[in-house]
Chain A
Amino acid sequence: MIESLLQVVGFVALLAVLVVALELYLHAHFTQFDKRWFLPGMALGVPALALAGIFFSTEGRPDPGWTISLIGGLCVAEFLVALFFRYYVRGKHSLPIMMLAPGLLGLILLIVYPLIFEVYLAFHDLKLTTVMAWSGTGALPFVGFKQFCKVFVSSPLSGVTFFQLFLRTVWWTFINVVCHVVGGFALAILLNNQIRFKGIYRTFLVIPWAMPQVVAVLALRGEFHSQYGFINVMITRLLEWLPWLSRLGAEPVQWLSFHPLLTCTLINIWLGIPFMMVIILGGLQSISRHYYDAAAIDGASAFQQFRLITLPLLRPVLAPAITLGSIWTFNNINVIYLVTGQAGGTEDADILVSALYKAAFTYYRYSYSAAFAIVIFLILFTLSLLWVRYSKGTESAYG
């Protein structure tokens, strides 16, 4: 444990050094660009520093072939960068770029580079049987578009096809978002009245959002247990109390075995309503009372006020919230994996992303999953583009 902690401390120190080095590098390029020594100095100095670093980290015995090609490449690259700074940038925008650089570098290393690696993976063949060889040599057989064909032809799981998963995902997203918005709207409207204990109600109502999702989902999953869960206990008691209900076909439900998707949906609705409620409440409170007074004088009914005042004025708040909410729901693995993800769990609740997670980390089909992930991303991208075009949803997000 101590060793691990030291590793963390060392990493943070290394990170700080790297940030300082990056800033110094940029600072030199932004301020010294018109000096006569700038081009040769940078093109030779930076590789020299890198060489010193390599010698230091390998204790004086670097691999010669690899080092020479790296230093040579660095010379050329740095020369081009220096040219760019000397003749194009000329010290403009130095402060914002320098302030942005560490975060940007982090995003490039941990989001952009992995995505490029993902594309590389999708055109190669990495699976459980080739992963050992790969981690030794780094070489992978090239297979072209084969993985992409497999996504549509063979199933990512054992029993469900790609198109079933797709339809299920669309259905899941639609039902969840509609319920979140309707439920959130209802609660927000109730809370927006002049009533007592408003603060207390609001506090209690955000609890599902505030709870750690793992706890909430696992606990609710327990409540759907066929014998000891709250819901079936209630159904059983109701049947004891009103026996004639069982003649109508009412009986305890095998939630987790026979209706896993319904169970996940119910749980996710419970979890998601508070967020929408809070967003909508914020929007409602910013609408001036006068609009409603004027409308009431003109004789507008409550429904007309809602349709003609509330909805249009909430649009700038609602549209981005719905856009983001849909994307989050589409990508939501947590609920489904926590409910059905244990060994031998059912596949009847899986949507695209949870199938992706299982294909990658339960069945170890890495390249296949990479191709699958790219297909999913393209689907989501197309759908959101259509939606944004249709709703102009992000307009207000740009302020």
Chain B
Amino acid sequence: MYAGKKNGLVEWLFVAPALIPFLIFVVWPFVSSLYYSMTRWNGFTSPVFIGFDNFGRLFREASFVAALSNTIVFTLAGLLISNVLSLLLALALNRAGRSKAVLRTVFYLPGVVSFVTMAVVWSSIYHYYGPINEILIRLGLESWTREWLGNFDTVMAALIIIMVWSGVGFGVIVFLAGLGSIPADLYEAADLDGAGAFAKFRYVTFPLLMSSVTIVTFLGLTTSLKIFDLPFLMTNGGPGDASTTLAMLIYKQAFSYSNYGYASAGGIVLFVLVGFISLLQIKATRGREVQL
């Protein structure tokens, strides 16, 4: 329908307003970060090319290794707990009848609140004089009380709980939509074949939910790999390095210590991690999806 040189120009003019900011603020920064990651650079003097030294230094440094392992723990725990919990909730809500809409709203509500607000609210919950310790004392479990965020053993769990609280609603919505799209006659056919409740879940519901699993897993992975606000605001990575994440370490190296080259190398590692896991994940789950 449309052809010719003039049309080509018109088409480029249409995409230009979205494309130009994207090239300047997404593509160019990414490409130049690749270069900066191989330099020694404090942001004021010009960068000095040092090859892969920054990367070698990263993996030798204990704080980076700690941040990397914390990030992986965040990601795996968040992924597992959120996926399982939101699937269970969606299965329950799917049969909840009239209360379904209200419950859906309740579970999604934490997702609309900012991490800043969450940090304030949950800091008070985990506070030494906060409700958790208060309830433990009233139950006669005084020996269990502690500074939840100031303790090496509990700080990660405390933060993971908040992440799950804020993220489960999204999973519930996606799984509910997935459940709603499964044709009822498949269950009828399973009934005729004498399938029990578990068999129906295993052979009908679960395979047909794989695309929902893909979505929830993919978004969960990328969000938790990049997690920054929550530990930054609540613990500042502490105690020690116990809750420092990769994103936080990069931020601090850049803006607190002006190690721009080093921070860029960290940024590339984070990108490779996010990119690699995203690819892997898409491949793995796409293969198992059932096409109707």
Q: Tell me whether A and B are bound partners.
A: no
